Chain A
Amino acid sequence: MNFYPEFEVVRSDSRCIRCRVCERQCANEVHWYDADGKVMLSDESKCVNCQRCVTLCPTRALKIVKSDCRLRENANYSDQTIKEIYRQAETGGVLLSSMGNPNPLPVYWDRILINASQVTNPPIDPLREPMETRVSLGKKPDHITRNPDGSIDTKLPPQLTLSMPVMFSAMSYGSISYNAHASLARAASALGIYYNTGEGGLHEDFYQYGKNTIVQVASGRFGVHKDYLEAGAAIEIKMGQGAKPGIGGHLPGTKAVGDVSKTRMIPEGSDAISPAPHHDIYSIEDLRQLVYSLKEATEYRLPVIVKVAAVHNIAAIASGIARSGADIIAIDGFRGGTGAAPTRIRDNVGIPIELALAAVDKRLRDEGIRNNVSIICGGSVRSAADVVKAIALGADACYIATAACLAMGCHLCRSCHTGKCNWGIATQRPDLVKRLNPDIGSQRLINLMDAWRHEIKELMGGMGINSIEALRGNRLMLRGVGLTEKELQILGISHAGE
């Protein structure tokens, strides 16, 4: 069944100079030049609204607009719902989507407001006074031990030290390009934070950034070997992902080419299928075995992170993880991104990260095991304000990936699963990969993090707080607006005005 395309290419002919940049830069082959009529023509049915052409058009002759040719309005059966049914009736296939859940579900960050000092307690000016944004992640001792000579034993379990409480979340080499990985690795290294390999192994070129790398071990165990484990600063066991809780991953064989297959240690062209469960983990005790196997393999030098998707019983799950020997728990909320996920799962499974984070922090405190682990919050942390709110809700640090992709050029067209990313990020096509120059990509990531660090300091200063550690779990600094009693209770915050 043919539909009128979702987007329209609007070209101002009076501005178009026929430079054909749009034609050369569109991997979806929307634009072409008609030499007879000396005009640019387009097939908008192929357009994904990534705006590469719009961005590069030197005379601003192009814009992409949402088509207003819609099916008859129906509040129950939306245009999209009906077209999805048509598509499935035609193909019999599972619908695929990319990036995070775009649906208008509540964003609790936007319903939470931050406090500031007035009169009775002075705010701090971060331009004049020192501000500490450094955090260390890992198990903290719950009591002081003394050496035989009476001095305090200062030896800590392994920690990750971050110059600011933000890290780049897991995106595998394969799901994103070599140049995207290079940008992340170089930026993390320059910033004194960490990036995460995802389940795709670590390309040999990036071992040099090992001390700013978190290496991931996921259910497919792709790319995992001794050198890999030892190369990183921490090991992350991926149990789940916010965009697709309860299911595994699937890198299509078409992307497992060249270095990707080598790095993943799989034959070229073969599908890399990560199972939904870890086949050796069916309980917290099993998880404990893997945590300690990895610790043993790396001589207890590295902290182990366990990453889980935010699901209904997240507090109980986190409590189990905190007792498994893991040093850090990463919780990924339902708006987290992905390179490809079944649409129904992405849009309907999991819970908001804000509620999950508050519930986990409270549960661990109530059980007296909060210091056993650090908590990383991920799944659509969009700004420095979100970071500050997450820390005040109880996170030690945040993971960002969508924001990092945006910094590298992503325009959130949500077509990663097509493998034709016009911005050189979610693709393995060499002509597209080279569009992301890591000199530029890493600098833009560094700029973004510098900006966020300034903003975090401003927000902290306003509250009269000069150390990020003093903000952690400080829910008195937050107020809710327009939230129900129940929501406020779970978030552990008061309503504005209270």
Chain B
Amino acid sequence: MKRIYVREEWCLGCHLCEYNCAFANSGMTDMVKALRGKTIYPRIQVETDENGVTYAVSCRHCKDPVCVKSCIAGAISQKDGVIEINHDKCVGCLTCVLVCPYGAVVEDGSGVAQKCELCMKNACGAPACVKGCPNGAIVYEERGERE
């Protein structure tokens, strides 16, 4: 399946992906209205390591996902490889946040968990972070399966 991959050698640490993500998942049509004056809870987050290297982290859509197994409410499922969270079912125990080895599951600001769903459910249609990255540092491509 197609997944999001990060090429840290081209990441500029501009954090635009975070804002594009937050906007894409806001359900609104205007970025200013969606994000101005608000704290954003993006599903992709730019990390900076001790050497100043920056890279964006989002869900890997693992083949054998621990988050799905850990969910006590059965809110996390995998459909055609894409891992999704049913927000109505989520009870906000955040076990998935703890168990994700990549730190890709985060709290959404309202107490429940959220994660990258490849912009499949929003109006964007394709990952907004990829489309908006100015330097081709985030790509959405087929690279074969992995564990």
Q: How many angstroms from the CA of A306 to the CA of B105 in the assembled complex? A: 61
Q: Is B103 part of the binding interface, using a Cβ–Cβ cutoff of 8 Å?
A: no
A450 contacts B by Cβ under 8 Å: no
Q: Are the C-beta atoms of A435 and B12 separated by less than 8 Å?
A: yes
B13 at the interface (CB under 8 A from A): yes
State which residues 21-42 of A face B: CB under 8 Å: 21, 24-25
Whether B136 and A434, one on each chain, are in contact in the complex, defined by CB atoms closer than 8 angstroms, is no
User: Does A14 have its Cβ within 8 Å of any Cβ on chain B?
Assistant: yes
A15 and B32 in contact, given A21-B14, A21-B16, A437-B10 (Cβ under 8 angstroms): yes
| Minimal Cβ-Cβ distance residue in B for A57 | B16
Task: Decide: A56 near B20, CB < 8 A? Known: A15-B32, A24-B15.
Answer: no
Q: Which residues of chain A are near B16, meaning CB under 8 Å?
A: 19, 21, 56, 58
Within 8 A of A (CB), among B125-144: 132, 134-137
Which residue of chain A is the closest to B7 with respect to CB atoms? A437
A423-454 vs B, Cβ < 8 Å mask (1 yes, 0 no): 00000000100110101100000000000000
> For residue A434, which residues in chain B have a CB less than 8 angstroms away from its CB?
9-10, 12, 135
A10 an interface residue at 8 Å Cβ cutoff?
Answer: no
The answer to whether B19 has its CB under 8 Å from any CB of chain A is yes
- Residue pair A56, B14 in contact (C-beta under 8 Å): yes
Q: Is A20 an interface residue (CB 8 A)?
A: yes
Within 8 A of A (CB), among B40-79: 52
Cα separation A481 to B134 with both chains bound (whole Å): 43
B112 part of interface (Cβ distance < 8 Å) = no
Per the bound structure, the CA–CA distance linking A437 and B20 in Å amounts to: 20
Q: A19 to B52, alpha carbons, bound, how many Å?
A: 19
Residues of chain B contacted by A15 (CB below 8 angstroms): 32, 36
User: Would you call A20 and B135 a contact (CB within 8 A)?
Assistant: no
Interface size (B, Cβ < 8 Å)?
A: 21
Identify A435's interface contact among B15, B32, B35, B135, CB under 8 A. Answer: B135
The interface residues of chain A lying within 8 Å CB-to-CB of B31 are 17, 58-59
The CA of A434 and the CA of B13, in the complex, are separated in Å by 11
Let me know if B15 and A58 touch, CB within 8 A: no
Q: Are B32 and A17 in contact (CB under 8 A)?
A: yes
A24 B13 Cβ-Cβ under 8 A: yes
Central interface residue in A56, A434, A439, by most chain B CB within 10 Å: A434
From A19, A59, A61, A439, contact of B15 by CB (8 A): A19
Task: Find out whether the CB atom of B14 lies under 8 angstroms from the CB atom of A59.
Answer: no
In the complex, the answer to whether B15 meets A21 with C-beta atoms within 8 Å is yes
Q: Binary interface profile of B, 1-23, with partner A (CB < 8 Å = 1, else 0)? A: 00000000110111110111001
Contacts of A61 in B (CB 8 A): 32
CA separation between A323 and B36, bound complex, in Å?
Answer: 69
A353 to B34, CA, bound (A): 53
Does A496 belong to the interface (CB within 8 Å)? no
CB-defined contacts of A20 to chain B, threshold 8 Å: 15
Least CB separation from B136: chain A residue: A437
Q: Are B35 and A24 in contact (CB under 8 A)?
A: no
**Quick one: closest B residue to A38, CB to CB?**
B37
User: Once bound together, how far apart are the Cα atoms of A21 and B9, in whole Å?
Assistant: 19
> A16–B32 Cα gap in the complex (Å)?
7
Q: A16-B36, A25-B14 are in contact. Are A440 and B19 (CB under 8 A)?
A: no
Also in contact, A440 and B136, with CB within 8 A (given A58-B20, A59-B31, A59-B32): yes
Q: Is the CB of A439 within 8 A of B136?
A: yes
Do A14 and B32 form a contact, CB below 8 Å, given A19-B16, A58-B20, A434-B10?
Answer: yes
Residues in A with CB closer than 8 Å to B19 are 17, 19, 21, 58
**What mask results when residues 456 to 476 of chain A are scored 1 for a CB within 8 Å of chain B, else 0?**
000000000000000000000
Q: Please report the C-alpha to C-alpha distance between residue A439 and residue B20 in the assembled complex, in whole angstroms.
A: 22
User: Of residues B9, B134, B136, which shows the largest number of chain A Cβ atoms within 10 Å of its Cβ?
Assistant: B134
Cα(A472)–Cα(B12), bound, Å: 46
A85–B136 Cα gap in the complex (Å)? 44
Q: With a CB–CB cut-off of 8 A, which chain B residues contact A25?
A: 12, 14
Beta-carbon contact of A437 and B135 below 8 Å = yes
What distance in Å separates the Cβ of B54 from its nearest Cβ neighbour in chain A? 10
Residues of B within 8 A of A59 (CB): 31-32, 36
Q: In whole angstroms, how far apart are the Cα atoms of A431 and B32 in the complex?
A: 29
Query: Smallest CB-CB separation from A440: which chain B residue?
Result: B136
Bound Cα distance A21, B135 (Å): 14
Interface string of B99-113 (1 = CB under 8 A from A): 000000000000000
What are the interface flags for A35-56 relative to B under an 8 Å C-beta threshold, 1 for contact and 0 otherwise? 0000000000000000000011
**For the complex, what is the distance from the CA of A56 to the CA of B15, rounded to whole Å?**
11
Min CB gap A95→B, angstroms? 32
Kindly list chain A residues whose C-beta atoms are within 8 Å of the C-beta of B134: 55-56
Chain A residues with Cβ under 8 A from B52's Cβ?
A: 431
Q: Which residue of B lies closest to A61 (CB)?
A: B32
Rounded to whole Å, the gap between the CB of A14 and the closest CB of chain B is: 7
Nearest chain B CB to A23's CB is how many angstroms away? Answer: 10
A56-B16, A434-B135 given; 8 more Cβ-contact pairs under 8 Å: A17-B36, A19-B15, A19-B35, A55-B134, A59-B32, A431-B12, A431-B52, A437-B135
Interface positions of B (Cβ within 8 A of A): 9-10, 12-16, 18-20, 23, 31-32, 35-36, 52, 132, 134-137
Chain A residues engaging chain B, CB cutoff 8 angstroms: 14-21, 24-25, 55-56, 58-59, 61, 431, 434-435, 437, 439-440
Some 11 contacts from A to B, beta carbons below 8 A apart, are A14-B36, A15-B36, A16-B36, A19-B16, A24-B13, A25-B14, A58-B23, A59-B32, A431-B12, A437-B136, A440-B135
Give the top 9 A-B pairs by smallest Cβ distance, nearest first: A17-B35, A19-B19, A437-B10, A437-B136, A17-B36, A437-B135, A59-B32, A21-B14, A15-B32
